Structure 1
Amino acid sequence: MTISIDTYIVDSFTDKPFKGNPAGVCLVTQKLSDKQMQLIAKELGLSETAFITKTGGLNTFTIRFFSPKMEIPLCGHATLAASKVCFELYPEIDKIHFKTIQNLDLIITKHGKTIAMAFPVYHTIPQHAPKALLDALGLHKISNSEYNSETNILLLEIESSEVLKQLSPDFERLKRAHNSINGVLVTARSQRHGFDFESRYFWPWSGTNEDPVTGGTHTFLAKYWSERLNKKKMNSYQCSERTGFMEVELIGNDTLSIKSQAQIVFKGALRL
């Protein structure tokens, strides 16, 4: 029996098509195996694909995320993409609950063209960055090196956002330089008008070489810069080739609000 799955491609963290970070969104109405979801994500070839299934009321769904290589427990841009699709399919609702594989309840709200996502706040601890990893990134010096355990990501702060923009890593050397992280996030204070900090995210170990705009890293990046800038609300810019933006706000000790926009650029049916 042929299974037909409504499938979308959505550009997240942007107000323009073909910018931001493209994610796949599959509306699952029949049970798929983990292997099938992994193969679909590999076939689409995007940094992540979200698989969503309605679980009860009009606004409650399960959500799972797969890169072309593995399942990812939490993904910001694919959550934003899935939210954009759901709000278009169900224009009468303005709030969504997404239940993740980690039993997180992601609460998403619509505010005109802007979508707000409530994410958890994670912490970082100091961790050494191997010289081989810095060499592969093309970095001669860093200001700080920290690690987040929930995402298994190494954070590197550097002094210049211009250096950040010009980074051109050797990804084969980068993969050999570390064997126990999902990715490395490089960040700097922004010199761009209207923005507080910038970042780029490289993850050849578990996804594509570079994720164009990454909401999930802000679960710890927002707290990191909040402590340095003494601000709760900040504007973040990801200076990848596609570029993207978001507003982040720390609410209390354990909730992060991420606000941005998304653009649906493709709708079709995937056949299994």
Structure 2
Amino acid sequence: MKTYFVDSFTNEKFKGNPAAVCLPDTELDADLMQKIATEIGFSETAFIRQIADNKYSIRFFTPKVEIPLCGHATLASSKIVFDTTSFDNIKFINCNNIELFIEKIENKIRMQFPVYDTEEIDVPKSMLDALGISEMINKRYNPVYKIILLEIESAIALANLRPDFTALINSYTGINGVLVTAISDSEEFDFHYRYFWPWAGTNEDPVTGGVQTFLTKYWVTKLNKTKLNAYQSSLRTGIMGTELLEDKVFILGEAVTVLEGQLIL
């Protein structure tokens, strides 16, 4: 099976978020795809198959579970399709039959994702202690992806977080992850964020695009502007542009292919 490793939301190799992109010739069962994703070990592995012309099915697997949507693996998959075909726009269909429209714009890729709301939630002190958060501005919850959103006071405090992941898992059940965000301390970006998800994936995701389905709307409302620049302050770092347009969010980013090969099934 043709397989690629791609670093997403970066224009430098070994930065951003690595994803595997697999192109099976025939339909694979979910158990086999899960085993492959676990073997590879990246936060996400995408499996794409051409349906017709520029239309593809796409499925996402972490090392632990299948998830319905992943921004950086969608970007990685788009990079491979654009590099190996003559298409300048494509459409992915995910496991929930949501259509993702993707465009190539010069050296960047623009992805169109749905927009979701957040709601109020109570967060236990044990979770804040596990994250190392002493002061919090806001707390919200996205029920679609089962992700808690926490806004804290500064980008510096965000970058300095060193969570206790054992304590974090024990502090809450029934969620996929915790997203911590803060307003930017530089003119280059509007907000910073980090995503911790030991419940469903790895301890920390290097760069996370899927959370922009609700995080962009959160910051658009706070900052009163529709176009934003985001910085993920993980160890590998990542950057992306986002734009909110009614019930859609557009995510603009770059990706770099670092490996091409055959996975033997």
Does the alignment reach a TM-score above 0.5? yes
Within 5 A, what are the aligned runs for 1:1-272?
A: 5-57=1-53, 59-90=54-85, 92-252=86-246, 254-272=247-265
- Tell me the distance in 2 between the aligned counterparts of 1:130 and 1:29: 47
Deviations 1:14-56 (A, max 9, x none): 0111100000000011121101000000000000000001111
Deviations 1:242-262 (A, max 9, x none): 00000000012x100000100
TM-fit CA distance, 1:192 = 2.4
What SS does the corresponding residue of 1:46 show, helix, strand or coil?
coil
Residue identity matched to 1:256: V
- Tell me the distance in 1 between the aligned counterparts of 2:193 and 2:120: 18
Runs of 4+ in structure 1 off by over 4 angstroms are none
What percent identity do the matched residue pairs reach?
Answer: 54
Residue identity matched to 2:251: I
Q: Cα RMSD over matched residues?
A: 0.6
Residue identity matched to 2:103: T
Residue identity matched to 1:178: Y
TM-fit CA distance, 1:237 = 0.4
Deviations 1:211-252 (A, max 9, x none): 000000110000000000001000000000000000000012
- Tell me the distance in 2 between the aligned counterparts of 1:39 and 1:175: 23
- Tell me the distance in 1 between the aligned counterparts of 2:152 and 2:183: 8
What SS does the corresponding residue of 2:133 show, helix, strand or coil?
coil
Instruction: Show structure 2 runs of 5+ residues with no match.
Output: none
What SS does the corresponding residue of 1:235 show, helix, strand or coil?
strand
Deviations 1:89-111 (A, max 9, x none): 10x21000000011110000001
Residue identity matched to 1:71: E
What SS does the corresponding residue of 1:248 show, helix, strand or coil?
strand
- Tell me the distance in 1 between the aligned counterparts of 2:41 and 2:186: 31
- Tell me the distance in 2 between the aligned counterparts of 1:64 and 1:130: 33
What SS does the corresponding residue of 2:33 show, helix, strand or coil?
helix
- Tell me the distance in 2 between the aligned counterparts of 1:36 and 1:141: 44
- Tell me the distance in 1 between the aligned counterparts of 2:230 and 2:96: 26
Aligned residues: 265
TM-score, normalised via structure 2 length: 0.99
TM-fit CA distance, 1:193 = 3.0
Residue identity matched to 1:7: T
Deviations 1:51-92 (A, max 9, x none): 0011112x11000000000001100000000000000010x2
What SS does the corresponding residue of 1:54 show, helix, strand or coil?
strand
- Tell me the distance in 1 between the aligned counterparts of 2:192 and 2:122: 22
